[in-house]
Amino acid sequence: MKHVVSISMLFLVGLFLAGCAGQSPTFLQPYSLIAADESNLYTIILVMAAVVFLLVESLLVYNIVRFRRRSDSKGEPRQIYGNWRLEFVWSAGPVLLVLILFVFTVTTMNAIAAPEQTAKSDVNVHIIGHQWWWEFDYPDLNIKTANELHVPVGAAIRLNLNSADVIHSFWVPQLSHKIDVIPGQTNTLWFRADQVGVYDGHCAEFCGANHANMRIRVVVETADQFAAWVKNQQEPPVQPVTDQEKEGQLIITQGACNSCHTLGDAEAVSPIAPDLTHLMSRAVFGGASFDLNEANLRRWLEDRQDMKPGNDMIVALTKDQIDALMAYLMKLK
């Protein structure tokens, strides 16, 4: 019995640790300076709390055992009042701990605020939170995209964030802290990613029915990869070839879609829906919550309210229209 218990405990701990290893998002594996500072602060607080916990609990257990009521104890034990030494220790101790935490916290806050030398950014991104997807505009590069943010490794990235509707919160734990995304106010966040990779994040402020499907994907790539990505994003949309593709394009530009979506118009002011120009260059869609492939895209056109209940894409499509749209959308690399 004893073995069964310990083996299952080990198994559970193993499962738990396996969950931590290498999974994105986790703030325990930071890949930027500011995320590392925050992760360090977390470790310091965790260690301090663990020491206090162990100290208090062991004193408690010791006293419970040592001074328990025995069969021969009579009446109340000796009562102690007003021991100034004890009172001093348990008042000054916590004050000191809180002071230490305060100093570490302020140091970290200063370290992660926009550093002086990056007053000039390498890449500016204007991020707009929508219910329930992210718009990423690169004002200097004339690029508009959604849900998947591309940045070069080692560069100073400045994000200016605001919201088109309610309060959201941008959080990619391995790269940055949380920052509120508020309508009518622009907040700024700086980061510099240390390592090429794909990092996932999440809207961290409850923002309505589909908050859970408002995720973020950040692709950190080499300078060359980023330049190639930029070049591709700046291209106009692919021209349709077959009749079916042409019909698909017409539905998008003159039919059921252009009241919300843009195609090949990076200048468009605050569209209500993700730009479709290079849709298929992205790996995820629908608030970075679904893999972008043919099957999922078709499902989106057929039955998106089932996929992402409550989303704001309201449009009725026939089977033929969906076929035509699929033919063209799949080409928008």
Which parts of this chain interact with Cu ion (CB under 5 A)? 168, 203, 207, 214
Q: Which of Cu ion, ligand HEC, none binds 207 (CB below 5-8 Å, type-dependent)? A: Cu ion
- If the CB atoms of residues 108 and 277 are measured against ligand HEC, the closer one turns out to be 277
Q: Which of 31, 132, 199, 226 binds ligand HEC (CB under 6 A)?
A: 132
Token code pair at residue 164: 């088109």
Specify the stretch interacting with ligand HEC by CB under 6 A; choose among 6-14, 153-161, 195-203, 251-259.
Answer: 251-259
- Residue 199 beta carbon to Cu ion: minimum distance, rounded to whole angstroms: 18
The answer to whether residues 329 and 279 touch, using CB atoms and an 8 Å cutoff, is yes
Specify the stretch interacting with ligand HEC by CB under 6 A; choose among 73-81, 83-91, 193-201, 279-287.
Answer: 279-287
- If the CB atoms of residues 141 and 317 are measured against ligand HEC, the closer one turns out to be 317
Q: Where are the beta strands (DSSP E) in the chain?
A: 123-130, 133-138, 143-146, 148-152, 157-163, 168-171, 179-181, 187-191, 197-203, 215-221, 284-285, 290-291
Token code pair at residue 20: 């931590």
- Residue 202 beta carbon to Cu ion: minimum distance, rounded to whole angstroms: 9
Residue 317 engages ligand HEC in binding (rule: CB under 6 A)? yes
Residues 6+ apart with CB under 8 A from 143: 136, 137, 230, 233, 234, 266
Question: Measured between alpha carbons, how far is 228 from 312 in angstroms, rounded to an integer?
Answer: 32
- Please count the residues of this chain forming the interface with ligand HEC, following the rule CB under 6 A: 27
Specify the stretch interacting with ligand HEC by CB under 6 A; choose among 47-55, 157-165, 221-229, 249-257.
Answer: 249-257
Q: Strand pairing of 143-146 and 197-203?
A: unpaired
Token code pair at residue 58: 């062991």
The answer to whether residues 118 and 190 touch, using CB atoms and an 8 Å cutoff, is yes
Q: According to CB under 6 A, which residues from 62 to 81 bind ligand HEC?
A: none
**Cα dihedral 223→227→233→236 (10° resolution):** 180
- Residue 126 beta carbon to Cu ion: minimum distance, rounded to whole angstroms: 17
The identity of residue 8, as a single letter, is S
Q: Which of 325, 327, 331, 332 binds ligand HEC (CB under 6 A)?
A: 325
In DSSP terms, 284 is beta-bridged to 291
Q: Which of Cu ion, ligand HEC, none binds 203 (CB below 5-8 Å, type-dependent)? A: Cu ion
- Residue 272 beta carbon to ligand HEC: minimum distance, rounded to whole angstroms: 6
Residue 285 engages ligand HEC in binding (rule: CB under 6 A)? yes
Q: Which of Cu ion, ligand HEC, none binds 218 (CB below 5-8 Å, type-dependent)? A: none
Question: CB-based burial of residue 17 (10 Å sphere; 0-12 exposed, 13-18 middle, 19+ buried)?
Answer: exposed
Q: Strand pairing of 157-163 and 123-130?
A: parallel
> What sign does the dihedral 149-152-153-157 (CA atoms) show?
negative
- If the CB atoms of residues 112 and 143 are measured against ligand HEC, the closer one turns out to be 143
The answer to whether residues 282 and 146 touch, using CB atoms and an 8 Å cutoff, is yes
- If the CB atoms of residues 108 and 145 are measured against Cu ion, the closer one turns out to be 145
Specify the stretch interacting with ligand HEC by CB under 6 A; choose among 90-98, 152-160, 199-207, 313-321.
Answer: 313-321
List contacts with ligand HEC (CB under 6 A). Answer: 132-133, 146-147, 251-252, 256-257, 259-261, 272-274, 279, 285-287, 300, 308, 311-315, 317, 325
